[in-house]
Amino acid sequence: MTRDDVEILSKESLYEGFFRMNLYRLRHRLFAGGWSPVLDREVFERDSVAAVVLYDPARDAVVLLEQFRTGPMAAGDDNPWMIEIVAGIIEGDESPEDLVRREAVEEAGCEILELQFVSSFYSTPGGGSERCTLYCGRVDSDGVGGLHGKHDEGEDIRVFVEHADEAFRRVKDGNVASAFSVIGLQWLELNREDLRRRWS
């Protein structure tokens, strides 16, 4: 099926701020034939994002971030500080590649030397419009670490470097709970040897 198999009857803005919330009244074609009943669906709408796993093949190490996140706080998580990879919202006519190169400098103090496309996906397609483009970036992690982020945007980011095996262990132990970060680190675990051959 395609977008032509959806009939949008109305769209109502519920909230307009840093993010947007819209209420759609719609119906769509059914696999068995015919049309669904009219459905009311709220959609959390935000601009596309891009994320990058920063990997140093010479040291077999990854650059990770830790920062406070309101989503886990609102969900009642005991620890709303998340271990994550670099990510950000794409601005204007900025490309996903440009975004991850800019954010790597702003959030982690790193310059990306090479980029490998990983995937493009929706983080929560049942209720959100956010689409993520994910990369792996080759970096030199020597001297990387400390506190970073744009203070005028409320960012307080702790940057650290650890061996790739330790990062993969974090994912297995449930200590990485951000979807972009889990997907990115699992991809790196599957493709690490190939990257080390190509990037070393």
107 as an active site residue: the answer is no
Task: Please identify which residue in the block is written with the tokens 């830790």.
Answer: 66
The domain tally of the chain equals 2
- Kindly report the pTM of this predicted structure: 0.91
Q: 117 and 32, same structural domain? A: no
Task: Supply the range of the domain harboring residue 63.
Answer: 49-199
pLDDT in tens, 140-163: 999 999 998 888 777 899 999 999
Taking the C-alpha atoms of residue 183 and residue 188, their distance in angstroms, rounded to an integer, is: 9
- The CATH number of the domain holding residue 121 is 3.90.79.10
Residue 150 and residue 161 in contact, taking contact as beta carbons nearer than 8 Å: no
Q: 164 and 78, same structural domain? A: yes
pLDDT score recorded for residue 151: 80
Cα separations (Å) of 15 from 23, 45, 147, 197?
10, 10, 33, 49
Q: 103 and 168, same structural domain? A: yes
Q: What is the DSSP string of 46-84?
A: ---EEEEEEEETTTTEEEEEEEE-HHHHHTT-S--EEEE
Q: 151 and 53, same structural domain? A: yes
Closest CA to 42 of 99, 114, 127: 127
Q: 107 and 155, same structural domain? A: yes
Cα separations (Å) of 182 from 60, 155, 170?
18, 21, 9
pLDDT in tens, 102-130: 999 999 999 999 999 999 999 899 999 99
pLDDT in tens, 27-65: 999 999 999 999 999 999 998 999 999 999 999 999 999
Cα separations (Å) of 107 from 4, 7, 166?
41, 42, 21
The catalytic residue among 7, 153, 155, 189 is 153
Q: 55 and 37, same structural domain? A: no
pLDDT score recorded for residue 36: 97
Q: 73 and 124, same structural domain? A: yes
pLDDT score recorded for residue 149: 83
DSSP 126: T
Please, what is the average pLDDT of the chain? 95
